[in-house]
A and B are shown apart, each in its own frame.
Chain A
Amino acid sequence: MTWQGSLLHIHIAPAASYEMEELAEAQLIAGRGLAGDRYYLGTGTYSPKPDVREVTLIEVEVLEAIAKGEPKIPGFKGTLKPEDHRRNLTTRGVPLNHLVGKRFRVGETVLRAARMNFPCKYIEELLGMSGLYEGLLNRSGLNCSIEVGGIIRPGDPILPMDE
């Protein structure tokens, strides 16, 4: 599979339920997370539940499909802005669902995709967007661990490694 994508936005939140804040650059720390983010600090909603949440990603293409209301089934339509979806990184041109178990580069860093992200009712209630849960099923992004840390910035290329 050959593809080449890019990093559009970086967001962090200091603790559960706090608004996401956009960063112009961020530090990824191998085996830990994104400096300043709730899952790096252990203050996230799901921090007490062990799992891989060092960094989470979602495709901007999903946000665009949701804005159009596609597909018609489940048929959720709404504006889900990059600062609202609560994933850390918004990507373009990256087939996230296909990367489970694989490594890929984001700028100078290397991530390993642990599992597909699963949407939660929590975000639906937090944003007051009923139906968002179903709207994100199977396209809710990726939970990754960080194998090689470093500094990332919007505009960084995202590239496959394990072909």
Chain B
Amino acid sequence: MGSPRIIMKLIVAGVHDEPGDVRVIELRHPRKPLLPRFEPGSHVDVHLPDGKVRQYSLCGDPEDLSRYTIAVKRETGGRGGSAWIHDTIAPGAELPVSAPRNHFPLRECDGPVLLLAGGIGITPILAMARALCRQRKTFELHYFSRSRSLAPLLGTLEKIIGSESLRLHFDDQVETRQDIDSLLLARPRGAQLYYCGPPGFMAAVAQASGHWPDGTVHFEAFQPPARDDAPPEPFTIVLRNGTVVPVPADESALSAIRAAGVLLMASCENGVCGTCECGYLAGQPIHRDAVLSNDARDRRFIPCVSRATGVLKLDL
């Protein structure tokens, strides 16, 4: 089970707009001077009034715990969370926000760090760059955007990061363009790669880094990778105590397990937050989440989106 986190009713202390239809929101605690600590790459859950939950990376300075900073891009074709935030949130508003969690941590390493961000994917990458600057580590940040005028947080980036570490690539400025395949073709000795961005960007970097060794490539997706899998089929879950839980084709494993009386926390119900994570003991899962590492897929399972073939024995 993913660990539950305290939810705090934070107060919006500041709002400003960034290029690319992005709104930056600063949040403070109404009573406590310091918020819970976080590491670069962390995100928080924002709880919307309709009960839905959205994840946003913390892009502020982890050394300044007087506030959290999130950047929200208005997704016109999205599920409505970002539009609600853009239309409703003003200074003084109250916003329920979870304590941070990190699925995208910077690993200890001696070699150089390569950070790749596409558009609003800059948010976790910005927090990483702040930390690397402070640690005086060797890194390069490649920021891809359609245009300088559409690149959120660019002003902040240019203030924090020296030009020796920052590479900007704009589709509408031919001389700045960078082919991702050739960028990742040769892996510098000891290098670690971190990337975040929209689905097309994620697919391109995944492909271009396919030859990098296991454990050197780290990413965070906004949504699970698109799949053209066959439509979901029914399967069966067996619990540790022997209870058999059938999962119909049109129901998630999570809701079937809950209906069977197991208390399981969940948050995004979209395969990205990891709250409902559990172990499995036997069977063939069909993983559809964007949380588990390849390593973890041998023993862990995300029941809100993932399914299985035949019978899956869960460690619940």
Which B residues are CB-close (under 8 A) to A15? 7
A18 touches B96 (CB 8 A): yes
A127 touches B6 (CB 8 A): yes
Docked Cα-Cα span, A137 to B278, in Å, equals: 26
Q: Which size bracket describes the interface of B in this complex? A: 10 to 19
CB contact list, B1-42 vs A, under 8 A: 3-9
Q: Shortest beta-carbon distance, A112 to chain B, in Å? A: 27
Give A22's nearest chain B residue, CB to CB: B31
Q: Is A125 an interface residue (CB 8 A)?
A: yes
Give A127's nearest chain B residue, CB to CB: B6
Q: Which size bracket describes the interface of A in this complex? A: 10 to 19
B9 touches A18 (CB 8 A): yes
Mark A9-25 against chain B: 1 for CB-CB distance below 8 A, else 0: 00000011111000000
Which B residues are CB-close (under 8 A) to A67? none
A18 touches B4 (CB 8 A): no
Q: Shortest beta-carbon distance, A18 to chain B, in Å? A: 5
Docked Cα-Cα span, A26 to B3, in Å, equals: 31
B6 is contacted by which of A19, A46, A48 (Cβ under 8 Å)? A19
Instruction: Enumerate the 10 nearest inter-chain pairs by beta-carbon distance, A residue then B residue, closest first.
Output: A125-B3, A18-B7, A17-B7, A126-B4, A19-B8, A17-B4, A125-B4, A19-B6, A126-B6, A122-B4
Using a CB–CB cutoff of 8 Å, the interface residues on chain A facing chain B are 15-19, 45-46, 48-49, 122, 125-128
Sampled A-B contacts (21; CB under 8 Å): A17-B4, A17-B5, A17-B6, A17-B7, A18-B6, A18-B8, A18-B96, A19-B6, A19-B8, A19-B9, A45-B263, A46-B263, A49-B263, A122-B4, A125-B3, A125-B4, A126-B3, A126-B4, A126-B5, A126-B6, A128-B3
